[in-house]
């Protein structure tokens, strides 16, 4: 039997030049330490390595075993890959003896190879096992979760993570469907959802929001995003850059609110006498909000919903005079 050749799924890195440029890797910062929290297929990491100086370091994270396999092909002593969630960033950097970093890049969501590979279960466009785990070596698959979750929980997940107005009807249909036979395939789930959704925006499949919701829940994407934003900020050196690319409103809302909270001027206790020099200062400067150009969207339609936000760490001063 001849060996079957499986073509490699291609991925176009969104906002590649803009994201790496936003890290401001230049001058003395070229020998700094940077983090790519979402290696994917390595587009951003390779571009960062091109900009790094000889003493620079890049620490990348990814949960996907296929991404880890791709990273193994980068033979650069300045580069390291961690097979884990970016939510473990603080612990991983501590174990490597790293106290501060000069920049963190997060490219959220799922990559094109994950979507296009039917065996991963992220998409209903081709039938495949209903998995949806970014890390296929651990955790519960979507099929396993749908087999045990109660109707109320399913409805809440679909409503909260998918912003789906037919969440109650979809949850009822899923519970009824699994009573007939286990829901194990992507097309099977998509058909159940389609039967429960009576209307949908033009050009959008009825199952889109439900698949998004279950994927986000299974991988705890929003919870891990909140964790990593706080960790990245705490690890950031003064003038360090935080660059985050998000692809839907739930992610972007979290990023926007986090950066805004750090850029907001803290209010001192007006009852206390405070010198002007000791007034609290913001901890972050908001630098940019960037969307892909029309040309990039034309070449890569999946870039259409991307929003990149950039913030710079400041030497904020608390009301007690301590630098943050």
Q: Is 37 annotated as a binding residue?
A: no
Q: Which residues pair with 62 in a beta bridge?
A: 83
User: Is 122-219 the same fold as 16-107+221-313?
Assistant: no
Q: Is 43 annotated as a binding residue?
A: yes
Determine the pLDDT at residue 320.
41
Are residues 100 and 88 in contact, defined by beta-carbon separation less than 8 angstroms?
Answer: no
Determine the pLDDT at residue 117.
87
> How many whole angstroms separate alpha carbon 196 and alpha carbon 174?
9
Q: CB burial class (10 A; 0-12, 13-18, 19+) of residue 309?
A: buried
Q: Is 128 annotated as a binding residue?
A: no
Angle at 75 (CA atoms; ends 70, 77), nearest 5 degrees: 125
Q: What is the average pLDDT across 153-161? A: 98
Query: Which of 74, 64, 65 has its CA nearest to residue 44?
Result: 74
Are residues 88 and 63 in contact, defined by beta-carbon separation less than 8 angstroms?
Answer: no
Q: How confident is the model at residue 318 (pLDDT cuts 50, 70, 90)?
A: very low
Query: Which of 306, 310, 281, 285 has its CA nearest to residue 296?
Result: 306
Half-sphere exposure of 107 (CA within 13 A, CB side): 27
CATH class label, 16-107+221-313: alpha beta
User: Is residue 4 predicted with pLDDT exceeding 50?
Assistant: no
- Ranges of beta strands (E only) in 221-318 are 236-246, 284-290, 307-313
Q: What are phi and psi of 43, to 5 degrees?
A: -60, -55
- Reported as a single tens digit per residue, the pLDDT across 55-76 is 999 999 999 999 999 999 999 9
Q: Is 11 annotated as a binding residue?
A: no
Are residues 130 and 141 in contact, defined by beta-carbon separation less than 8 angstroms?
Answer: yes
C-beta neighbour count of 160 within 10 angstroms? 15
Cα of first residue to Cα of last residue in the chain, in angstroms, is 64
Q: Is 86 annotated as a binding residue?
A: yes
DSSP per-residue string spanning 24-71: T--GGGGGSEEEES--TTSHHHHHHHHH--TT-EEEEEES-HHHHHHH
Q: How confident is the model at residue 278 (pLDDT cuts 50, 70, 90)?
A: low
Q: Is 62 annotated as a binding residue?
A: yes
Q: Is 166 annotated as a binding residue?
A: no
Q: What is the average pLDDT across 133-148? A: 96
Q: Which residues pair with 163 in a beta bridge?
A: none
C-beta neighbour count of 138 within 10 angstroms? 7
User: Is residue 12 predicted with pLDDT exceeding 80?
Assistant: no
Q: What is the third-level CATH fold of 122-219?
A: DNA polymerase; domain 1 (1.10.150)
Paired sense of beta strands 33-36 and 101-107, if any: parallel
Query: Which of 213, 215, 242 has its CA nearest to residue 228?
Result: 242
Determine the pLDDT at residue 34.
98
Q: How confident is the model at residue 247 (pLDDT cuts 50, 70, 90)?
A: very high
- Reported as a single tens digit per residue, the pLDDT across 108-120 is 988 878 888 898 9
Domain boundaries, the chain: 16-107+221-313, 122-219
DSSP per-residue string spanning 170-193: HHHHHHHHHHHS---BHHHHHHHH
10's tokens: 């291609």
């Amino acid at each position: 039997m001849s060996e079957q050749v499986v073509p490699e799924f291609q991925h176009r890195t969104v906002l590649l030049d803009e994201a790496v440029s936003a890290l401001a890797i230049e001058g003395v910062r070229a020998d700094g330490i940077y983090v790519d929290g979402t290696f994917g297929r390595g587009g951003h990491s390779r571009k960062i390595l091109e900009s790094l100086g000889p003493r620079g370091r890049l620490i990348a994270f990814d949960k996907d075993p296929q991404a880890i396999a791709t990273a193994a092909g980068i033979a650069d002593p300045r580069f390291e890959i961690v097979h884990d969630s970016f939510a473990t960033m603080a612990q991983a950097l501590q174990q490597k003896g790293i106290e501060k970093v000069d920049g963190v890049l997060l490219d959220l969501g799922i990559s094109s190879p994950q979507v296009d590979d039917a065996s991963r279960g992220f998409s209903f466009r081709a039938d495949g096992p209903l998995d949806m785990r970014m890390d296929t070596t651990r955790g519960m698959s979507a099929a396993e979760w749908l087999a045990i979750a109660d109707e109320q929980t399913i409805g809440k997940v679909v409503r909260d993570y998918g912003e789906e107005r037919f969440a109650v009807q979809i949850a009822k249909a899923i519970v009824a469907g699994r009573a007939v036979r286990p829901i194990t395939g992507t097309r099977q789930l998509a058909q159940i959802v389609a039967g429960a959704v009576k209307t949908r925006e033009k050009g959008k499949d009825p199952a889109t929001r439900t698949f998004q919701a279950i994927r986000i829940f299974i991988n705890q994407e929003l919870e891990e995003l909140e964790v990593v934003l706080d960790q990245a900020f705490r690890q950031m050196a003064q003038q360090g850059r935080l660059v985050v690319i998000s692809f839907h409103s739930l992610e972007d809302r979290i990023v926007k609110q986090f950066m805004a909270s750090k850029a907001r001027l803290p209010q001192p206790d007006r009852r206390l006498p405070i010198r002007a020099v000791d007034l609290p200062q913001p901890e972050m400067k908001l630098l940019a909000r960037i969307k892909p150009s029309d040309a990039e969207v034309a070449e890569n339609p999946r870039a259409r919903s991307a929003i990149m936000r950039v913030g710079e760490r400041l030497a904020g001063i608390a009301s007690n005079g301590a630098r943050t």
